[in-house]
A and B are shown apart, each in its own frame.
Chain A
Amino acid sequence: MSDPIALSAAEAASRVHAGALDPAELFDAYQSRAAADELNAFTWVAEEPPTATAAMAEGPLGGVPLAVKDLFCTRGVPSQAGSRILQGYEPPYTATAVERLEQAGAPLLGKTNQDEFAMGSSNENSGYGPVLNPWDRGRVPGGSSGGSAAAVAAGLAPWALGTDTGGSIRQPASLCGIVGLKPTYGAVSRYGMIAFASSLDQAGPLTRNVTDAALILGQMVGPRDRCDSTSLEFPESIELPTATRLDGAAIGVPEELSGEGIEDGVLRAFEETLHIAERLGATVKRCRLPHAPHALSAYYVLAPAEASSNLARYDGVRYGLREEAETLLEMYTRTRRDGFGAEVKRRIMLGTYALSSGYYEAYYGRAQRVRTKIVEDFRAAFEDFDLVACPTSPTVAFELGARTGDPLAMYMSDVLTVPMSLAGVPALSLPNGMSDGLPTGFQLAGPPFSENRLLDVAFALEQAIDFDAVPARA
């Protein structure tokens, strides 16, 4: 029998359904790879398959094991959000998204490393050490879902769950040469997903190909979760993509997101894919998102502001790290001093400042108005185009340590992904060829709930691009 690791998740699931693959054997194959992880992609690996694996295998996900970003709460399993302040923390409940996937037949393989509280674009902000990019271990895998991306790219997991606040699924997917999908805001329940910026956070899959993404997404969306007030019922079921042609598809390429500040190699790969799209019958035209250049600024006000409040609960009282002190104030300030890393502190400071008396309107209020303009920009673009396309990341994977000294340079990594996050629209990153021996990502975004269209177009492009490079596997 062929190596189960070589199968895509969807292939593995159909073999399990056909009785041609033993789900326990599949689990073991990945378990032993994940346990031997040299990329620091995992922070916890299950020791054995859940006892219910046989039953789970009958579900639509066929018992194909799932790596889950550490940001998701998993009952009785360490859920540390990449932070020292939650070291060893085991929640008493499981996140809705994970629970739905388990019920659909995906057993938990392990928890993946990430930037602390999802704040970062390189995974260097993890309290548990950086994740290495499987294409080049001297480089970052991107972030914040870097562990999930590296694990999938390196064949340590068939697929993985990540979260995306400003690009945290798409950018690492791009840097690791896999598919990453951020669904429409509200499509996937946030209940049990440790909050970074509530109005932006969205869970989504990281997969080897578009079909796998569609298969798993179909089990994440559905009826709204009554535990999450912002969750929405998905208006249709997610279909496995089949398109081979793109006739009639209108793709807009925002000027603001396809020129300045993007590496030549990345742009070249992007433009090649646009040509492929045209060859498949799509119309490709330039378009405008006039306020996109201000998206990053708005994002770096809104996300830190929400984060400063979301992270106030880490106070040493009910769970997590605590530094004992004689006074309550000292207990608070020392616990948070020792528990949070530098980037988290920076964003808490930034967000606290932006909300503080006298500055609210100038920062938070203005940023919310910029957000309105960005939502309107996308709405206008989608009147003329079915989808918009741009590169996912302005660069390929950069070297470890290259941007850690310059927060602003690091924030620039998100410049092409943040606009979609602010607008709440679905966006997908598709491997798009190589530049300097490293993968690049092609980003597609559509109107809210256009996931089926997005997956279909991505699928057609994927077949035509025929990106078959994989990193050297250990």
Chain B
Amino acid sequence: MIDREQVLHVAQLARLELSEDELERMAHELSGVLDHIERIGELDLDEVAPTSHVVEVENALREDKPRPPLPREVALAAAPLVLQDGFAVPSPQA
């Protein structure tokens, strides 16, 4: 179960604006999915190590050798708003 307050908090963390309607629907749908998911709670997994990677690769390291960066106009090409050769945003502290 996940209630409306939790949905709001999670939406805030995820930077999603949800309407009242969406909020209600999301709480309902997520609860249904979570109910199903929570069945893994039945398994005894205390002695089981978690798997983060299925491949057994280690030390995929890169040599410290520079490669040419993107030209600035390419880096900025898709930017919604460019000012002073940078990506413009509303100031965080505003």
Contact = CB atoms under 8 A, between A and B. Distances in A.
Given A322-B80, A328-B91, A368 B11 contact: no
A351 B39 CA distance: 17
A92 B74 CA distance: 7
Contacts of B83: none
A199 B57 CA distance: 13
A411 B50 contact: no
Contact of B14 (A297, A317, A348, A365): A348
Contact of A294 (B18, B43, B87, B92): B43
Name which of A232, A297, A321, A329 has the most chain B CB atoms within 10 A of its CB. A297
Contacts of B6: 353
Contacts of A362: 41
A301 interface: yes
Given A349-B7, A366-B45, A186 B87 contact: no
Contact of A326 (B26, B60, B78, B90): B90
A301 B52 CA distance: 13
A126 B41 CA distance: 33
Interface in B65-80: 70, 74-75, 77-80
A52 interface: no
A423 B33 CA distance: 22
Interface string A306-319: 00100010011111
A14 interface: no
B26 to A, nearest CB: 6
Interface in B1-28: 2, 6-7, 9-11, 13-18, 22, 26
Contacts of A330: 17, 90
Given A336-B16, A407-B33, A328 B94 contact: yes
A13 to B, nearest CB: 31
Q: Which of B22, B49, B55, B77 has the most CB of A within 10 A?
A: B55
Contact of A186 (B18, B39, B57, B92): B57
A298 interface: yes
Contacts of A332: 15
Interface of A is mostly: helix
Contacts of B29: 346, 407
Given A185-B54, A186-B55, A353 B30 contact: yes
Interface stretch (A25-33, A55-63, A172-180, A370-378): A370-378
A35 interface: no
Size range of the chain A interface in the assembly: 35 or more
A294 B50 contact: no
A334 B55 contact: no
Given A334-B17, A352-B10, A424 B54 contact: yes
Interface in A175-192: 185-186
Contacts of A315: 15
Nearest to B91: A328
Contact of A372 (B22, B50, B60): B50
Interface string A348-366: 1110110010000011011
Given A352-B13, A363-B37, 20 more contacts: A294-B43, A297-B36, A297-B40, A300-B37, A317-B87, A319-B79, A320-B78, A327-B94, A328-B92, A330-B17, A336-B17, A337-B16, A345-B22, A350-B33, A353-B2, A353-B34, A372-B50, A373-B48, A407-B33, A411-B33
| 5 nearest A-B pairs in the assembled complex, by CB-CB distance | A424-B54, A368-B50, A319-B78, A333-B17, A322-B80
Interface of A: 89-90, 92, 185-186, 199, 224, 226, 229-232, 291, 294, 296-298, 300-301, 308, 312, 315-322, 324-334, 336-337, 340, 345-346, 348-350, 352-353, 356, 362-363, 365-373, 375, 407-408, 411, 422-424
17 contacts: A199-B52, A291-B43, A294-B40, A297-B36, A297-B37, A300-B37, A301-B37, A316-B80, A328-B90, A328-B91, A332-B15, A336-B15, A345-B22, A350-B33, A411-B33, A423-B54, A424-B55
Interface of B: 2, 6-7, 9-11, 13-18, 22, 26, 29-30, 32-34, 36-41, 43, 45, 48-55, 57, 60, 62, 70, 74-75, 77-81, 87, 89-92, 94
